[in-house]
Amino acid sequence: GAVVSQHPSWVICKSGTSVKIECRSLDFQATTMFWYRQFPKQSLMLMATSNEGSKATYEQGVEKDKFLINHASLTLSTLTVTSAHPEDSSFYICSASSREVEQYFGPGTRLTVT
C-alpha cells in the first residue's frame, strides 16, 4: 500500500525559533499533499493544500507567512513553522494523494514550543 513518512515524529523547540517538518510519499508520486493540524480532543483541521511545483493554497485563518509550505517534488513537501510560539504546539499531520480520491496519511509530528 501507499506509505507516507514524516520527519521528525516529535520536536521540542524554543519560542521564536523555526521548525521544519518533512512529508514524503515513499512508494508513489503525490500530485497533491495536505497539511493538517490537530489539537487535543479535536478533529483534523486542514491548513493548506499543495500541488507539486505550485504555491500552496491556504485555508482561511492560516497565516501563509508563518506556515511556509514547499512542495518541491512529487515525493516531498515541507512545512516550516516560523517564529514558533507556544500556541503553535500541536500535532501536525500530512497526507498525500495521487490521482486517486484517497488520501494517505503520514504518522504525524508532535510539536511542542516552550
Partner 1 sequence: GQNIDQPTEMTATEGAIVQINCTYQTSGFNGLFWYQQHAGEAPTFLSYNVLDGLEEKGRFSSFLSRSKGYSYLLLKELQMKDSASYLCAVMDSNYQLIWGAGTKLIIKP
- Can you give the binding site for partner 1, defined by CB under 8 A? 34, 42-46, 49, 91, 93, 101-108, 110
Query: Minimum distance between the CB of residue 101 and partner 1, rounded to whole angstroms?
Result: 6
The nearer residue to partner 1, 83 or 100, going by C-beta atoms, is 100
CB of 63 to partner 1, least distance (A): 20
Find the shortest distance in angstroms from Cβ 16 to partner 1. 27
| Residue 77, all three cell numbers | 513537501
Say if strands 57-58 and 76-81 run parallel, antiparallel, or are unpaired. Answer: unpaired
Radius of gyration of the chain (CA): 13
CA dist., res. 77 & res. 39, Å (int): 22
